[in-house]
Amino acid sequence: MSRWLAALALAAALAAPAADAGGDPLPSWREGRARQAILAFVQAVTDPASAQYVAPGARIAAFDNDGTLWSEQPLYVQLAFAIDRVRALAPRRPEWKTTQPFQAVLEDDRRALAAAGQQGLLKLVLATHAGMTADQFARTVAEWLETARHPRFNRPYTELVYQPMLELLAYLRANGFKTYIVSGGGAEFIRAFSERAYGIPPEQVIGTTIETRFQAGPDGAPALVRQPRVDFIDDGPGKPVAIGKFIGRRPILAFGNSDGDHQMLQWTAAVAGRSLVGLVHHTDGDREWAYDRQSHVGRLDRALVEARTRGWTIADMKQDWKVIFPFDR
Amino acid sequence: MSRWLAALALAAALAAPAADAGGDPLPSWREGRARQAILAFVQAVTDPASAQYVAPGARIAAFDNDGTLWSEQPLYVQLAFAIDRVRALAPRRPEWKTTQPFQAVLEDDRRALAAAGQQGLLKLVLATHAGMTADQFARTVAEWLETARHPRFNRPYTELVYQPMLELLAYLRANGFKTYIVSGGGAEFIRAFSERAYGIPPEQVIGTTIETRFQAGPDGAPALVRQPRVDFIDDGPGKPVAIGKFIGRRPILAFGNSDGDHQMLQWTAAVAGRSLVGLVHHTDGDREWAYDRQSHVGRLDRALVEARTRGWTIADMKQDWKVIFPFDR
């Protein structure tokens, strides 16, 4: 077992069991409206005597990843990966020394990097996520996760997962739900750790994708080779579109934390039967981060207004969560 | 329960149980190489003491649909649906009387329809599969399947499923496999019946898709509205590409029946460990149809050559299958 696998196995062990010794399936959730909403919802849709009963196969639960299942500050983990890959690949790409946004990364010039904007970030991602087979990319991500450390907590990124959300995922699965990730991040990036970090297998990860082509790989055998072109951006209205395409039925539970999740939440809220729609609200600057409307990462504005108007569930990290990370316990 | 649901439930009941009274999981498969190859493969990958053992989560099995799980003659079922829909919608579309390929359908002019070619068929599909919400489309397909009858067998199309393949699907699932459909047909068309006909839930159906847009539906609630534009053709090299995108790992078993499945079979055959790659060969003109190289539907040429060269499993319908359809028993 590699160190990376060992670290993930440890994280999984820390996160288990779903219920504490007293049988509480959500021991890290404080008494309050969010916890009560979750318990009441699961009770209602799993009780065959309930008018709101939902058959197990239709118990689809969709979760955003960045900021909903793990931390997205000070920058998306996938962007930290892209930046590290630019540095690692730079000796073979001498032209990057004088080409933006690569030069900004190599010189650690944050102003120039910010000036490169979304198009610049896309260039970084495509340059570091394409040009290899799908298997090679998965290995590269796995190796990086083994050694990279979060700048604030000095721990593997896969330990920056939210303990209360791990409990929620396990609680839902124990009640016949199929749990999905529906992320603006790269599907294949997340698939490299989702099963061990969250118990979510690769086929239940929906995300942004780049094109792949079926052709001979480096060893001559047929392979999927990743191309430097975006296939689909799984964000905003793209989230319900992708859920329709991949799952073919509407979730009855969805959790997000930003305006990029807004349409997925609206669509879930409009399901014919009972649904639970939730937001993780980052309100704890001491233990994690506090941000919403003004944040450059995970901006939460319109979705928060609608959540309050419609009475969606809001998980206030400071108020509702006894612990944030597994290592806090 | 609608008549359609009743018919499907009956088909499922006919197909069950997976094993006969003697405990044979494949009672409709005659003794022979195909049957032996399947049994030996499942034994090898599920025995923890075997060097070829595969963990349950990685036991992914991919099946083509048309011609592999149900009949595709005399024409694809989805095309029969499109033709019936053109007739049903014609009163509201007077211009179709003088516009090809619609005129050909309305006048039952097979020569003109054939002359319209692939582009003509695409027009028929887009005109009948778009312009409504995903939910409306699923209902339309379900209602059609309830009343439409196969021209040769005068039975619902969902009874034209292959009993030996139903047994194979059930046998694989009983051994920890996750069974997928990977079809050139429309994903949402197949999803309307896959669970009841095959025990395969919507989220395990991968197929050709048209674009959808997240917007207000007819009742004002947020919905996915189907657009008259192709999103992705899940055929040929598109099949491994789609499997990579949707599942994120390579199948260890794949079955097809035509050259459109060739790349999926090649990709599965090249997996690192043991795999089973199979073709359904239509050799029984009495009980079903006999066709391969010369067929306009389900053409099988290059894949058959490679199957014979590499020793892939070939299910010869006439030789290997005691019965073809559940109603044959």
Write the pLDDT tens digit of every residue in A32-67. 999 999 999 999 999 999 999 999 999 999 999 999
Backbone angles phi, psi at B72, to 5 degrees: -120, 10
Answer for the pair A256, A303: CB distance below 8 angstroms, yes or no: yes
Alpha-carbon distance of A129 to A137, in angstroms, equals 7
User: Scanning the structure block, which residue is given the tokens 């009949």?
Assistant: B71
Residue A158 Cα, gap to closest chain B Cα (Å): 20
Q: Which helix (H) or strand (E) holds B315?
A: strand B313-316
Q: Which amino acid, B215?
A: Q
pLDDT 10s digit of each residue in chain B, 329 long? 344 444 444 444 444 445 666 799 999 999 999 999 999 999 999 999 999 999 999 999 999 999 999 999 999 999 999 999 999 999 999 999 999 999 999 999 989 988 988 899 999 999 999 999 999 999 999 999 999 999 999 999 999 999 999 999 999 999 999 999 999 999 999 999 999 999 999 999 999 999 999 998 888 899 999 999 999 999 999 999 999 999 999 999 999 999 999 999 999 999 989 999 999 999 999 999 999 999 989 999 999 999 999 999 999 999 999 999 999 98
Alpha-carbon distance of A178 to A62, in angstroms, equals 9
Answer for the pair A108, A83: CB distance below 8 angstroms, yes or no: no
* Most A CBs within 10 Å, among B245, B266, B271, to test the A interface: B245
Q: A79-83: which pairs have CB atoms within 8 A and are 24 or more residues apart?
A: A79/A121, A79/A124, A79/A125, A80/A148, A80/A157, A81/A128, A81/A141, A81/A144, A81/A148, A81/A189, A82/A121, A82/A124, A82/A125, A82/A128, A82/A129, A83/A124
ipTM score above 0.90: yes
> What's the DSSP call for residue A233?
-
Closest-CA residue of A relative to B237 is A214
Q: Which residues of A touch B263 (CB under 8 A)?
A: 214, 222
Pairing of strands A290-291, A313-316: unpaired
A132 touches chain B (CB under 8 A): no
For the entire predicted model, the pTM comes to 0.93
User: Which residue among B134, B191, B246 places its CB closest to the CB of A203?
Assistant: B246
Q: Which helix (H) or strand (E) holds A246?
A: helix A238-246
Q: Which residues of B touch A205 (CB under 8 A)?
A: 248
In A189-248, the residues whose Cβ lies within 8 Å of chain B are 191, 195, 201-203, 205, 209, 212-214, 221-224, 231, 237, 240-241, 244-248
Q: Is A244's CB within 8 Å of B222's CB?
A: no
Residue by residue, DSSP assigns A164-224 as HHHHHHHHHHHTTPEEEEEEEEEHHHHHTTHHHHHS--GGGEEEEEEEEEEEE-TTSSEEE
Q: Which residues of B touch A214 (CB under 8 A)?
A: 237, 240-241, 263, 267
Burial of A279 (C-beta count, 10 Å sphere; 0-12/13-18/19+): buried
